[in-house]
Structure 1
Amino acid sequence: MYSPTYGKVNYKEMIDIIKSFINKSPNSIYNISVGTDSQNFDYTKVVVVVAVHRVGHGGIFFYDIKTVKKISGISQKLFYETSNSLSVAMKLSEVLEKEGIDFGISIHVDAGNNGQTYKLIPEIVGWIKACGFGCETKPNSYAASSIADKYTK
């Protein structure tokens, strides 16, 4: 993972930074989000983001970039992005719960009511909620539609 604030970090370092960030203000309200976006070139560039927002007081985020064989279909791309987010969220949730950090994790989906993906929203949201996570779509899905989007370009 990479953080604009902390540079390149491994998974354990990311967890330690998140714990430290939360412990600096334990009575604050936090939103922990995981979102993925992708962009097609001759390949598909995939960016997954873990964001920790201290409500009213900023936040931190981490991202990872990978490339995969070009995914042309819009629905296939959205399901692939969601699968990536769920995979990261499941691992993150397990580790944070062991550390006593249980604010819940929300999956941010890069889909909204004004695009080709709106028909897929009920299925995607149902999948995410069945896995035990909250879900946000555009315009509230900032981890995917703003942060990850920035790094896919």
Structure 2
Amino acid sequence: MRFFNTVQKNMSFVDVIASIEYFIRLDPDCRYRLAVGTDSQLKGRITCFATGIYIHREGRGAWGCICKRILNRQYTNLREKITKETSLTYEMVNMLNQELLTSLYDIAVRYENFDCRLEAHIDVGTRGETRKLIKEMVGYFEGMPVDAKIKPEAFVASSYANRYSRDTRVS
């Protein structure tokens, strides 16, 4: 799995974790939102899935990256496509939660104002056909320390990842 953004290319998951930790350590006495979301686009016989990771220091900047997966399969069924997007988001949220738990705990006990909410941004909303899938997709994250967000609050899936899912080239 390789990640990129507009400045950094070919990052490993370890590099992503280090970048998130560095970003937080620059100003640890703040509130953060760490959000993950996936979007996909069908291009001929393939489907491009882009998963975005986005850390936002509330009121003071953000850092993000993308991981693309190109699958040689057409996801034409809406339920199947949204389920795949949600499962990729779930996988990434779980990995981040496991890798960042200790370092975020260490920061939390040292800084009074530090807060970091983990969010899953799901590409479903109350308008259109995806409204029928909200309960099922949000259900993926029940029992996890994660806030599941849907459109219009799910900007990492519906905007950030969407921007990168349109291009099938892996950066």
TM-score over 0.5 for the alignment?
A: yes
Shift of the alpha carbon at 1:134? 1.1
2-structure distance, mates of 1:146, 1:7: 20
Which residue identity is paired with 2:65? F
Q: CA RMSD in A?
A: 1.3
Q: C-alpha deviations, 1:52-100, integer Å up to 9, x for none?
A: 0111112010101111111110011111000000001101100000223
2-structure distance, mates of 1:4, 1:129: 33
1:142 to 148, 155, 164: 155
Q: Could you tell me whether the CA contact under 8 Å between 2:35 and 2:118 is conserved in 1?
A: yes
Paired residues for 1:107-146 under 5 Å: 107-146=120-159
1-structure distance, mates of 2:80, 2:63: 30
Q: Does 1:30 align with 2:43?
A: no
User: SS in structure 2 opposite 1:77?
Assistant: helix
User: SS in structure 2 opposite 1:13?
Assistant: helix
Larger Rg: 2
Show structure 2 runs of 5+ residues with no match.
Answer: 109-115, 167-171
Show structure 1 runs of 5+ residues with no match.
Answer: none
Paired residues for 1:77-116 under 5 Å: 77-101=81-105, 103-116=116-129
Q: Does 1:2 align with 2:12?
A: no
Aligned length: 153
1-structure distance, mates of 2:18, 2:164: 24
TM-score (norm 1): 0.94
2-structure distance, mates of 1:5, 1:134: 29
Deviation beyond 4 Å, 4+ runs, structure 1: none
Percent identity (aligned): 27
